[in-house]
Chain A
């Protein structure tokens, strides 16, 4: 277990964004938090990342108490924010060098950019990247210090199907290298494909937490069935079939 969240809560005035939730994330797994907008996913994530003060309860990350030693936590986590923005007019290689200096490490920008398929963009400015490239670059900045946990907040929102698939590949590779990944998403397909375990949040509470196939099985066990049988292909399959899987950037 690398993250332990206990009785976590957060209030904004009278509004309870997170209500007394507890869960654990295992070392090396991909843990997805699903939920509609306003469910409290981002708030939860930001408290774990030490970006927001913890309202109530406690969070332990890799042995560090997040509220007591946020700096230690920042050294072992990598973060991709929901809307990642980077300094304009600063080349990607310069940005990576800068991020590495925050963690007191040295990186080879080219090697890191190659990892996210952006090696030919080393001298580009972030404002000239496409949406998918930007997300991949954002992940590269989160990996400069070889973090133990990588947080991805809605990493594929707004990307076209090709870019989304490409990013899924990347996330799998990162998982295979032993990094624990915590992500939030709106896309069920994404959660099903990537996540080892899924927490479903709504109105500040975790209403289900398990392996995706078990969540589905539980539903079926309760007698649920779709009115139509699932087709062997859907429109997205058609789209990918027609346009191919190569990235368009």
Chain B
């Protein structure tokens, strides 16, 4: 009981101290927001004059080949080379594609009594992106109207069918947002702590604490509490900006999200506590912080999706501690997953948490 009370009193006073440090406040709260604004402005702009569509051609007809070629020249259509329908649907789900155009096998083949080629293409778009669906279908109808009027005005051999697919309607921003949340927690944890603790050692503050009955574990836990509070506030700020400025999407439960982010913060803080606790000064801390942080950032899908990596790298990067964090936030926000669904992620995070805190307490040095 006394053990915990010491942690609470120490944590309370360290937290007060944190909020009196203007530089720390700037880097902690404003820095992630700056990132959010930069990336948000780049990626939230999904509209514009052209649409990214996947063109899946299942037909071998000459007409179909000609249609594909013409589509590439169309200014309004930005054709992606995806061939697989499922993959294309996933990309629509992630907001990377606006829609899919599918040409069936008989597209462009003559059928019935008429010798003229005919066919019906299917436009697949997300059910919540009605506007994109309508615009694209009218664009395609326009194209066909021209062809039809040349071929057989009365017959209208070419038509457009639409099909709505049910993805979570994510913009690219939504995909990026969970990565940015993970990134800001990671930088707070690793860069904040690997700076703070060694500088307290250099000034001899920790040496003075060592002379008291305070234990390393208590100091580590109190510091963790401080940064949990700070981290939650920082993430909350990101969500406020994400939702008010950039129209982020949330389909899952806020309670699960809060719990999951709390666990994520605790996990990632472990790395900062281990580095800062071990390092005697900033010269030891900052290279180590970089060595740990940068591979995590680039391999866990923060800045570019893991599915773009080679298979072996995807396998390896799945076990990096930031990966389940970024995936988990994304799955809760965009696919309404619960903590039960996130069992694999939570298991991996749990293992990492135990390991990293055991290391942090063991390698801690007071000076």
Contact = CB atoms under 8 A, between A and B. Distances in A.
Contact of B6 (A71, A87, A102): A102
A97 B12 CA distance: 11
Main secondary structure of the interface of B (DSSP, over half): helix
Interface stretch (A73-81, A172-180, A198-206): A73-81
B147 interface: no
Interface in B7-30: 9-10, 13-14, 16-17, 20-21
A51 interface: yes
Contacts of B212: 74, 99, 102-103
Contacts of A98: 9-10, 13
Interface residues of A, number: 25
A102 B5 contact: no
A83 interface: yes
Contact of B5 (A81, A89, A101): A101
A95 interface: yes
Given A51-B210, A79-B211, A98-B10, A87 B2 contact: no
Interface stretch (B72-80, B187-195, B200-208, B231-239): B200-208
Given A85-B203, A89-B20, A97 B211 contact: no
Given A51-B210, A81-B208, A84-B204, A90 B9 contact: no
B214 interface: yes
Contact of A90 (B17, B207, B214): B17
Given A51-B207, A87-B17, 19 more contacts: A74-B212, A79-B211, A81-B211, A83-B204, A84-B208, A85-B203, A85-B205, A85-B208, A86-B208, A88-B17, A94-B13, A98-B9, A98-B13, A101-B10, A102-B6, A102-B214, A103-B213, A104-B5, A141-B208
Interface of B: 2, 5-6, 9-10, 13-14, 16-17, 20-21, 200, 203-205, 207-214
6 shortest A-B CB distances, which residue pairs? A101-B9, A85-B204, A102-B212, A104-B2, A89-B20, A79-B211
